[in-house]
Homo-oligomer: A and B are copies of this chain.
Amino acid sequence: MYPFEGATSFVTRAWYVAGWSDEITEKPIARTILGQSVALFRVSTGEPVALSNRCTHRGLPLAMGTVNGDEIACGYHGFVFGLDGRCRRIPSQERVPPGIAVRQYPVAERWDWVWIWMGDPAFPDYSLLPDTQELGLGGDPWLAVRGDDFHVRARYQLFNENLLDLTHLSFLHADSIGTPDLLESQMTVDVVDRTVRVERCTRSEQMSPFYARRLGIPIGRIDRRHVTSFVAPTFHVVHVIAAKEGTGVGPAPAVLGEHKILHAITPETETTLHDFWALTRTYNTSDEMTAYLRENINGVIRQDIVALEATEAALAGCSDRPLEFSCAADEAALKGRRLIQQLLRAERPPNTEEKRR
């Protein structure tokens, strides 16, 4: 599946955002993650639970069932399952044969996000959960606000590569956050473990009106540093630091303000995804600025979505793997691909035959 080898692009040994905390309540919802339909709900203690959405009796989605205390009853014939997915009761008979169960998925609530582990449920790797403090979601001096949940008809790697090559800002977002100066900036790319780190610094960049309003200063020239940390397979932190002109790349930048945009991308199917985004910042913490940022960033993401969906639609029409040329600015994207490809290979049994698309 383009751009990866192999039939699937799903990395299962990873945490994905399953939903916003306030989406998951005692009334179950169904969400498809990596092609698997999952029932998400909270039990009476408030603990979030994720079970396979298919009742193992006759297949009705469990999300159509009812939560009572610490168990969920299927809405069809009333089979009752506990938090571990084991069947506890069958209303029409006395005994529950051993072994009847639905798959349970480990979950972890961090900040306003409920994360789900899609690998072997017996071995969730909690060390792979992002550090909330480091993300700027732990409070002062950061003010974190949740963004929206965008449903996008595109394979997740298209979104990854959008975020990993910021030169698109100068074209796709020319009328909002993009400035031509970004194209001139130097880029460095490093890979450490599952992370690709991309840094771009601009000097004496002309501010966009959008950016000046954010910082509450008159339009003029600044230095800026963009640091993108991409944690494979789908988590992005874009850290933007604005500094006074001439100070941004030196040892003691005169910082005007910082923000981090976080994108937690959750593949839904091989060609669709959810994007749960958030923003955290050190400047102007007024509600008015929060509303302004949400509106503007939603607008920017919508421009990306138009491009992503058009690209996906074009891929759907290709019978062959598309011929593709990369340029220097694709360095980070290509390193990201390689990381994911390694994760995919590690998950695949050795002699699996490969399909290419």
Contact = CB atoms under 8 A, between A and B. Distances in A.
Interface of A: 32, 35, 37, 53-54, 56-61, 64, 73-78, 87, 90-93, 97, 99-100, 161, 165, 167-168, 170-172, 183, 306-307, 310-311, 314-315, 317-319, 322-329
A76 B171 contact: yes
B307 A75 contact: yes
Contact of A172 (B53, B75, B183, B329): B75
Contacts of A323: 56
Count of chain copies? 3
Contacts of A310: 60-61, 64
Nearest to A161: B58
B75 A325 contact: no
A231 to B, nearest CB: 22
Nearest to A303: B75
B317 A78 contact: no
Nearest to A318: B54
B165 A77 contact: yes
A162 to B, nearest CB: 9
* Chain B CB within 10 A, most for which of A57, A76, A311: A76
B54 A92 contact: no
